Structure 1
Amino acid sequence: MSLWFTEKQTSSFGITAKVNRTLESENTDFQQLDMVETQEFGNMLLLDGMVMTTEKDEFVYHEMIAHVPLFTHPSPKNVLVVGGGDGGTIREVLKHSSVEKVTQVEIDGKVVEYSKKHLPHISCEYGNPRVELIIGDGFEHIIKSENRYDIILVDSTEPVGPAAGLFTKGFYAGIAKALKKDGIFVAQTDNPWFKADLIKNAIQDTKEIFPIARLYTCNIPTYPSGMWTFTMGSKVYDPLKVSIDKIFDINGKYYTPELHYASFVLPKFLQSLCK
């Protein structure tokens, strides 16, 4: 008998993976957390039945949420990561020597705990002295911060449960206040096949708050539809005007200097969401 996990991405569509064994299953204070070992993608973190990351394809998301903004800013020193308890985003941020401190605010400490245990190559930088981990509410942390960060990365789950407030115009406005005068923020904004309205609202809200607002994409096979978007808001720096000579080798598997620009080239149906 085979055991399969299916994430229902809509009421009539889902993706499925063969599970070798369940490593953890716990109803935390905030969500249902499961860690399973899959045959195709290795260990897989699930929150409320949704795939958050896997050993096989995690590098795509983490490289793209981190390096596009960090190479856009000429000298990022103080970075905030909201969410991202698996640790992959801070791992990528720390590849930039200009970064003096990464503050991570993760609401669910169990995500960090089980990621350290079962996703060690993703969570490998938690002991780095440049990292401050805060178990708490990212929304509240943003509201209490002002003119503090060069870059803010919103590495959240989908807009349900504890992450629902992280997709609102009020949150983006709070981010703008928490950023320095030349700051940049990036938020993951789901996929255009099933969440077109979410993307449209996110980019429109960002345009009303930031002088520069751009949408970019990547391909992640275990995320809904495989096509994933990120929304960037920047006070000064345009990611399309970065000199390619400034982009160094990050020793990654997905992000490249050429892809930095190419990721902003959108298919026509996605362009229409940004108007």
Structure 2
Amino acid sequence: MIQTEEFGNMLLLDGMVMTTEKDEFVYHEMIVYVPLYTHPNPQKVLVVGGGDGGTIREVLKHPSVTNVVQVKIDEKVVEYSKQHLPNIASEYSNPRVELSVGDGFMHILNSEDEYDVILVDSTEPVGPAANLFTKGFYAGISKALKENSIFVAQTDNPWFKGDLIRDAIHDTKEIFPIARLYTCNIPTYPSGLWTFTLGAKTHDPLDVNVSRFFDLDTKNYTPELHKASFVLPKFV
């Protein structure tokens, strides 16, 4: 953890920026709101990774959600975030949150027909996280999801990880009837342009009825941005 003048407290893992107090809301709102607004009634949500707590914070703003299971391989990141990023890691005492310390890959493989939404808020595809970017993992996600459900995974930036993104969307298309790629802009991440891969069994995020969007205290996400985020630069 380092303190910066422009971005406040900044969490780094292995020298790479994971999140900052100033711009974290962009990432966390986009990984959460797009799938949870696409699903008509999300109740049980799984978060793989996301140790800073921002993803579960945003999930819990959705009134239909009754249970959030977070699987994190290293609890130290969670405890560190509680201490140094309290505004981000603010919901770990919420009774709807269940924190499980373990391997997200194995948790997925051992789950079946259980979750409405799965969010893969992982680090770079190295070490234990490498398995979270494989076709086998996406197939496991499909099995762990209930009928008519959705998953989203962060899939890095198109400037330096184009092959990873192409593989992710290709593998998702082979497993899910609906596969989409969407983006957002995060100043402290490499290149600033970030992607998310979405797989859905039934509900297309481009066909969302914006009239059902309820009023949330967001800083970035809007119904208009929801659809606009799927408009990709030509090189992507």
* TM class, shorter-length: over 0.9
In structure 2, the partner of 1:155 is 121
Residue segments in structure 1 that go unaligned for 5+ positions in a row: 1-34, 271-275
In structure 1, the partner of 2:10 is 44
d(CA) in 2 for partners of 1:250, 1:146: 31
In structure 1, the partner of 2:74 is 108
SS in 2 for 1:141: helix
d(CA) in 2 for partners of 1:250, 1:216: 21
2:161 alignment partner AA = K
The answer to whether structure 1 residue 127 and structure 2 residue 93 are counterparts is yes
In structure 2, the partner of 1:263 is 229
Superposition TM-score, scaled by structure 1 size:
0.85
Contact 1:249 1:256 in 2 (8 A): no
Contact 1:77 1:98 in 2 (8 A): yes
Contact 1:153 1:185 in 2 (8 A): yes
State how many pairs are aligned: 236
CA displacement, residues 22-79 of structure 1 (integer Å, 9 cap, x when unaligned): xxxxxxxxxxxxx111121110111111100000000000000000000000000000
Give the alignment's Cα RMSD to 1 decimal. 0.6
d(CA) in 2 for partners of 1:179, 1:239: 17
1:158 alignment partner AA = E
Superposition TM-score, scaled by structure 2 size:
0.99
Aligned pair partner of 2:131 in 165, 168, 171: 165
d(CA) in 1 for partners of 2:128, 2:80: 18
The answer to whether structure 1 residue 177 and structure 2 residue 143 are counterparts is yes
1:251 alignment partner AA = D
Aligned pair partner of 1:145 in 107, 111, 121: 111
Residue segments in structure 2 that go unaligned for 5+ positions in a row: none
1:220 alignment partner AA = I
1:232 alignment partner AA = L
CA displacement, residues 174-200 of structure 1 (integer Å, 9 cap, x when unaligned): 000000011100000000000000000
The answer to whether structure 1 residue 70 and structure 2 residue 36 are counterparts is yes
In structure 2, the partner of 1:222 is 188
1:55 alignment partner AA = E
Moved over 6 A (4+): none
d(CA) in 2 for partners of 1:250, 1:112: 25
d(CA) in 2 for partners of 1:159, 1:249: 35
In structure 2, the partner of 1:200 is 166
**Percentage of pairs with the same residue:** 77
SS in 2 for 1:268: coil
How far is the alpha carbon of 1:249 from its aligned partner? 2.3
Structure possessing the higher relative contact order (Cα contacts under 8 Å, 6 or more residues apart): 2
1:223 alignment partner AA = Y
Contact 1:104 1:133 in 2 (8 A): yes
The answer to whether structure 1 residue 136 and structure 2 residue 102 are counterparts is yes
